[in-house]
Structure 1
Amino acid sequence: MKRIIGAAAAGSQGGVKTVAVGEEFAGQRLDNFLLRELKGVPKTHVYRIIRSGEVRVNKGRAGADTRLEAGDLVRVPPVRLPERVTDPAARPAPAREFPVLLEDEHLLAIDKPAGVAVHGGSGVSFGVIEQLRQARSAARFLELVHRLDRETSGVLLVAKRRSALTRLQDQFRGRETGKTYLALVVGAWPVNKKVIDLPLHKFMVAGDDEAAGERRVKVVARDDPDGMRSITLVKVARRLGSYTLLEVTIKTGRTHQIRVHLASQGHPIAGDDKYGDFELNKSLHREGLKRMFLHAWRLQFQHPASGEPVALEAPLPSDLQQFADRHAPTSAPV
């Protein structure tokens, strides 16, 4: 029988398990509970058995976003794991610590470098969270509060307690946090301040080229039934020659929101390989900008235990700072 995560098996019949939710998993979403319980099972399959009603909570159907409570009984159907193919390149995540911006017994805030995914999956063997768990093997609980794109650097929150995770995620869902990024865009941004309120839609790239099957996002009409309202606040921080450094605050956390909203205004982020100016990106690479100029600069929230306001800032990484310095007016360096 599979390992029971934070719980005891209340019973099983015909390969079906009933799992009692432990105190440490109170408040967790059903999908995340199952992904941990059914290690190795593809995420798409986990969502499929939830939608089909094969998974039950206290004998009733439940959605993926159902919040579990201590003592809930979760019916877990038998799941056939795919045959394992030994990959000689597959290795456990290496232990790694990251620059710490704030740490206490409830949370850990780090300055994530660009080029590192926040978690494994979708062709990535491991990410920040797996490396942290290896480095802190004695830690009982480490979970991502939110996510950043792989090529985006900056402030990333990790919860060290279940209670901190649920309270912080509630703030993110309720738009009670302040998330401000620094983005360098191509061209002269026309106004000092702007609100971009345009719905976004996720889709998969069709065709047979190398981009086929990739997830992309586009702006759609306001009456599009698939559009998700997305709000981005833009403020000019500096004019840097033929570029503009922007402070970008997001009120909604949609996939690729900043990248698509800025590109939709005719000012893509420098170095953006999905929504940017591809020919310009080649020249930027030769100049030393080898990745997208997007950095999660500032994060404001209420501490999950004390309720006190917290404001964190991660300085621009050296590669981005050096590129900005080269384009800054000599009379007013960045």
Structure 2
Amino acid sequence: MNGITLLSTFNTTTWPQWSLWGTTTSISRYRYNHNVKSLSSSTPSPSSEAEAGVNGKLRRALLEQVDKELSRGDDRAALSLINDLQSKPGGLRCFGAAQQVPQRLYTINELKLNGIETASLLSPKDTTLGAIERNLQIAAFLGFISAWNVFDFGPEELVYISLPIFFLWTLDLVAFAGGLSSLVLDTIGHNISQKYHNRVIQHEAGHFLIAYLLGILPKGYTLSSLEAFQREGSLNVQAGTVFVDFEFTDQISAGRVTATMLNKFSCIALAGVATEYLLYGYAEGGLTDVNTLDGLLNSLGFTQKKADSQVRWAVLNTILILRRHERARINLANAMSAGKSVGSCIDVIEENIDEIDLMIS
């Protein structure tokens, strides 16, 4: 299926925006810098280094240039730098270098033989935040009853208290699509549940790692709704990882998606739930990821059988890549938790993957 162009019949004006863990990357035009600086323009390149290839120190200096281009919003320039560095000996060995399983129809039993229970992976349910939300509702109700008894509220006082609360709740649903309540709940979850906090970090590390190993450049990430709000200034943006995806959006605009690109984004979409499954035995976050992939396949006119085949291959491929590069994922998650830049996270991946890990075992 690789290399075959899939012609779609979807309407690009109603195309669902690509989102990972709730963060939306809008379909927009990216400017192209035709005067991209050469990789050696701002960093020393002694002849000995040129002969021996790129060492770790020089690679980190060059990745700082990538961070600068991403911060300017020049995604094409950043990707050009990555591709240039990838072509140099000792540069970026791992970008787009993941070994993948052959693409064919895999049965449920074949996935089980590889230790994969799709029901625990493809039907995420956030029980942690659900429990926190229920406890908050119970606490609020008990607090309301206590205040009623202590202050002896009458019917008028109850109306005065209830109306503002109902108004704020309705405003949040209508104006922000529940973004304000999600932000509050997510913030509380990060502060009182270490499990929830760690799960989000691991989830995003999975997205980041799989994207990079498949040749899609991450451009940024956030690990909480509050961080996303501070960065984007919108309540409708949640925590997540965004990518340099102009090639994908260009194909969407043209009304067709190649099988190669579809394969990459299928695996990236499922990378978060796959990471949670490997660590905890089930996935809680990532329902938006699964639904987005379903929407993509439906828009491309896939039959249910063909969609199931695509998803099963992507699940198996993603799980095996994550298992093979567990050390890189662990250290990447630590770097993301510390708020490291995209370039620094890429350097962590490169430092924690050996040549033999990129070969088919």
TM-score with structure 2 setting the length: 0.21
- Counting strand residues as a fraction of each chain, which structure ranks higher? 1
Larger Rg: 2
TM-score with structure 1 setting the length: 0.22
- Counting helix residues as a fraction of each chain, which structure ranks higher? 2
